[in-house]
Chain A
Amino acid sequence: MLTPEQVNRVAHLARLTLTEDEKQRYARQLSAILDYAEQLASVDVSHVSPTATVLPVRSVVREADVVNQLLTRDEVLKNAPRSDGESFEVAAAITESS
């Protein structure tokens, strides 16, 4: 069973604020899923390479940059929750007191 500390740590890493109820429920449900995943522990993978992509991995030479008409600034900012028309607006990440 995942401990409350483990759940808090993962929630923080994932930047998720969770309610007490969610923390307890996820601890229980994630533990059941991880128990189920335990069957992978018994598979012999000592001589197996991991598959991150099914595509053949190949080295390529970077092509020269081509300037394309993509999105205008207005289009980029159109869906922003807050912007000043030139950039995204967020709360100060660094303040004098910190």
Chain B
Amino acid sequence: MIDHLTVKAVRAGLQNKQFSALELTRAYLKRIHEHNPRLNAYISVNDEEALRQAQAADERIAKGDDTPVLGLPMAIKDVLSTKGLRTTAGSRMLENYVPTWDATCVANLRAAGAIFLGKTNTDEFAMGSSTENSAYGVTHNPHDESRVPGGSSGGSAVAVAANLCVVALGTDTGGSVRQPAAYCGITGLKNTYGRVSRYGLIAYGSSLDSVGVLAKNAEDAAIVNSVIAGHDPKDSTSIHSPVPNYVDEINSLKSKIQNLRIGVPKEYFIGGLQPDVENAVREGVRAFERMGAVVKEISLPTTHLGLPVYYLIATAEASSNLSRFDGVKYGLRVNGDDLIDMYGKTRQAGFGDEVKRRIMLGTYALSAGYYDAYYIRAQKVRTLIKQDFERAYQEVDIIMTPVAPTTAFKIGEKVEDPLQMYLTDVFSVTLNLAGNCGISVPCGFDQQKLPIGMQLMGPALGETQLLSAAHTYQFSTFN
């Protein structure tokens, strides 16, 4: 019943009484218990509460109620707070943490009648590109279980790709929605900074963090995005701008690929790019050209500076954000001789290797004597990166690139060398630094049958155009 079900198909099936939300939820829970021990996509499965939510959804449907996500079984990345449901952020620090309130995006979905199957695995505090940094074990890529699913939203990507949910929420600070979507062969929407409230998102890099959707296709992402996007008074950085009706827009914009101006930046096709990835992405660009788009090569000269800027700014913000884990208000405490000793021992025991490394790097970049040379300089180069995009969007509507230089790598392959791991983010971090939106769209497979992702980037609040372009591409490719 549930193989390859889309959000749209679920809604139709529920309305036509093909199945009930309860039947659907039971089927997903059964499948999760069958496959999750092997794939480890979920940290926590929400068995009992999901069934209660399903019953409530069926009652609403019986009364004639309808929302885009009513009765929709979905998964939530475990860095988003869920009231009454354990939220670990992939960390020992929060092993027993049960939020007493919902993140705003979760609250919106809950009110609209979505069903939460469980919380998905993530690199600890979303710091990683492979989901290997989770305190709850690595998640396996369903296309080849010896390989990583990407990260940090690897659990959400696998849950969608392996039909362990219909759709999932993720978060993206430097590529954490787009890159796992690419590695797992699904669609991943990274929203413009501030489009979706960050309230209740356990903070990593606050000037970069965004909530996104991992889905089977762009239309599904559009449906869910229409529920989670919007201004939130609880997040001072959320944008005051009306939320478009993404679903209607993408269906009416279909013809607008004609004369869409697509920029292909030469700096994203460089040495180190896997040939199969380059070929598939260039073929994807040609498909748009055949549909009437106008393609031109452009230049984003600061592209290579994105990674060092990202890893200085994100870690600096993380070192500040994670100071809240002090053994006092919530989470783990390890007793010490005095307060300072308690802080040190608690953080030693609660944080994993990569989190400590990033806190150390960020603290160093912010410390007296290094602040100007590293942190402020990185913020200035960030301005140049942002300006590069602003210039580019004067001559093109969207930009198309690979999501990552390679397809999914082997589990353990990059664990010993943090810098090599960081390099997998080279094509995704620039977007977060500019605060723009992007979408990862499957565009083929490499010789080992591993999925390849194509990145469509748009200017701030360009979600409608990206979703529309991705939807048209998927519609023309798969129908």
Interface residues, chain A, CB within 8 Å of chain B? 2, 6-7, 9-11, 13-18, 22, 26, 29-30, 32-34, 36-37, 39-41, 43, 45, 48-55, 71, 75-76, 78-82, 88, 90-93
Contacts and interface: CB of A to CB of B under 8 A. Distances in A.
Interface string B185-196: 000000001100
Interface string B310-348: 011000000100010011111111011011111111011
Given A10-B367, A55-B237, A91-B342, A37 B384 contact: no
Given A17-B344, A17-B347, A54-B207, A79 B357 contact: no
Given A16-B356, A82-B333, A45 B339 contact: no
Interface stretch (B62-70, B94-102, B218-226, B281-289): B94-102
A41 B378 CA distance: 9
Contacts of A80: 328-330
Contact of A41 (B348, B357, B377): B377
A52 B378 CA distance: 10
A33 B347 contact: no
Contacts of A81: 327-328, 330-333
Contacts of B359: 14, 16
Given A11-B360, A30-B360, A90-B327, 11 more contacts: A18-B356, A26-B356, A29-B418, A34-B364, A36-B307, A43-B305, A45-B380, A51-B433, A55-B239, A92-B338, A93-B338
B381 interface: yes
Name the residue in A6, A14, A49, A53 with the highest tally of chain B Cβ atoms < 10 Å from its Cβ: A14
A96 B422 CA distance: 49
A27 to B, nearest CB: 9
B312 A78 contact: no
Given A18-B348, A41-B377, A79 B308 contact: no
Contact of A54 (B193, B305, B329, B345): B193
Contact of B100 (A6, A75, A91, A92): A75
30 contacts: A13-B363, A13-B367, A15-B326, A15-B344, A16-B348, A16-B359, A16-B360, A17-B347, A29-B357, A30-B357, A30-B361, A33-B311, A37-B311, A37-B312, A43-B305, A48-B384, A49-B380, A49-B383, A50-B379, A50-B383, A51-B383, A54-B435, A54-B460, A55-B237, A79-B97, A79-B329, A80-B329, A81-B328, A90-B339, A91-B338
B309 to A, nearest CB: 7
Interface string B65-99: 00000000000000000000000000000001111
Given A75-B100, A82-B333, A15 B379 contact: no
A54 B434 contact: yes
Per DSSP, chain A at the interface is loop
A40 B339 contact: no
B419 interface: yes
Contact of A30 (B340, B342, B364, B376): B364
Given A17-B344, A53-B237, A26 B333 contact: no
A96 B184 CA distance: 60
Interface residues on B, range: 35 or more
Contact of A33 (B305, B319, B361, B384): B361
B388 to A, nearest CB: 12
Contacts of B136: none
A93 B335 CA distance: 13
Contact of A48 (B338, B339, B345, B380): B380
A37 B308 CA distance: 5
Interface string B400-440: 00000000000000000011001000000000011100000
B386 interface: yes
B143 interface: no
Nearest to A95: B338
Nearest to B307: A36
Given A16-B359, A36-B308, A51 B331 contact: no
